[in-house]
Amino acid sequence: MAEPFIIADNLSYTYTDGDGGETAALKNVSFTVGRGEYVAVLGHNGSGKSTLAKLLNVILVPTSGSLTVAGKPIFDGMSDDEVFDVRRKVGMVFQNPDNQLVATIVEEDVAFGPENLGIPRDEIRLRVDDALRTVGMYEHRDSQPHRLSGGQKQRVAIAGVIAMMPECIVFDESTAMLDPRGRAEVMRTIRRLSDDFGMTILHITHYMDEAVMADRVMVINDGELYADGTPKEVFRDVGALRRVGLDVPQGRELMDALEQNGVSFADSPIDNAGCAALILERYRSRSK
């Protein structure tokens, strides 16, 4: 495996409210994400996904166990410099693009992050142009963000993160508020960041069709790591996913229904075209 970028070892986080009430949001979670991996984090509402994102960005610190990011432990009492260093390495893209755009012109918005990092002007110019090209929004550099579609706004938000040159980007349900076209634009952008730039990606989502685009899927259920493997491995067990309130890709669902009726397949593809091909193959061999 590649050099580890994130190491969670018996990581737990418990929220405590004013009245002493406690919610265990993450319970003894252990996993490693290698540098350059593209991992989808799947789980129904309230399973602890955003809590994990907040720990990776030092908005929260573990209540027990340990979390290491780029070789640095996340703990209560880190110095401002240490926190800054982690936040520079791990960029975050959230759900609502409107809450992430701050400037009135697209390119100024993208420049905002690197300006805060104290990057020299000339360098910022280059980074902003590169980042906008990477997300396919360079032609819109002079536009006003509020005139853009949801998918375009989210791509500008991603450009703003890329311009800070993080080593990893965590997307916390960044497609949830977009229409299908906007979602597809953002998914293509994420795939590109992984393929062309080798960036470490954690994509938190509850869409199956998005999770299958990752190289690895981790399922979190009620604060525990429930499954961890390639999309093919994780989606093979349709029953296990249903038990924790998750759907499976449509093609897989159809194959599972056939399997329940005694039809067996040699493979368990996750894309609809692959499923259709296997079903067709069975159909043809039977009708000979």
- Is residue 48 close enough to count as binding ligand ADP by CB under 6 A? yes
116 makes contact with ligand ADP (CB under 6 A)? no
Give me the least distance between CB of 236 and ligand ADP, in Å please. 23
Distance CA 88, CA 127 (A): 15
Residue 142 binds to ligand ADP (criterion: CB under 6 A): no
Piece of 41-49, 189-197, 238-246, 255-263 that binds ligand ADP (CB under 6 A): 41-49
Q: C-beta of 201: minimal distance to ligand ADP in Å?
A: 17
Query: How many DSSP H helices and E strands does the chain contain?
Result: 11, 10
For ligand ADP, which residue of 5, 43, 101, 168 counts as binding (CB under 6 A)? 43
Max intra-chain CA distance, the chain: 72
Euclidean distance between CA atoms 193 and 150, whole angstroms: 20
Q: Which stretch binds ligand ADP (CB under 6 A): 15-23, 74-82, 145-153, 278-286?
A: 15-23
Cβ neighbours for 224, distance < 8 A, ≥ 6 positions apart: 27, 28, 29
- Residue 29 and residue 73 in contact, taking contact as beta carbons nearer than 8 Å: no
**Measured distance between the N- and C-terminal CA atoms of the chain, rounded to whole angstroms:** 46
* Contact call for residue 97 and ligand ADP (CB under 6 A): no
Stretch that binds ligand ADP, among 40-48, 88-96, 162-170, 247-255 (CB under 6 A): 40-48
Nearest to 166 by CA among 191, 202, 205: 202
User: Which stretch in 43-51, 112-120, 130-138, 181-189 sits in contact with ligand ADP by CB under 6 A?
Assistant: 43-51
Q: Would strands 72-73 and 64-69 be described as parallel, antiparallel, or unpaired?
A: antiparallel
- Is 154 a binding residue for Mg ion by CB under 5 A? The answer is no
Q: Does 268 bind Mg ion (CB under 5 A)?
A: no
Buried b (16+ CB within 10 A) or exposed e, 53-83: bbbbbbebbbbebebbbbeeebeeebeeeeb
Binding mask 49-88 for Mg ion (x = CB under 5 A): xx--------------------------------------
Q: Which of 12, 51, 134, 194 binds ligand ADP (CB under 6 A)?
A: 51
Question: Which positions touch ligand ADP (CB under 6 A)?
Answer: 15, 17, 23, 25, 43, 45-51
Question: Contact positions toward Mg ion, by CB under 5 A?
Answer: 49-50
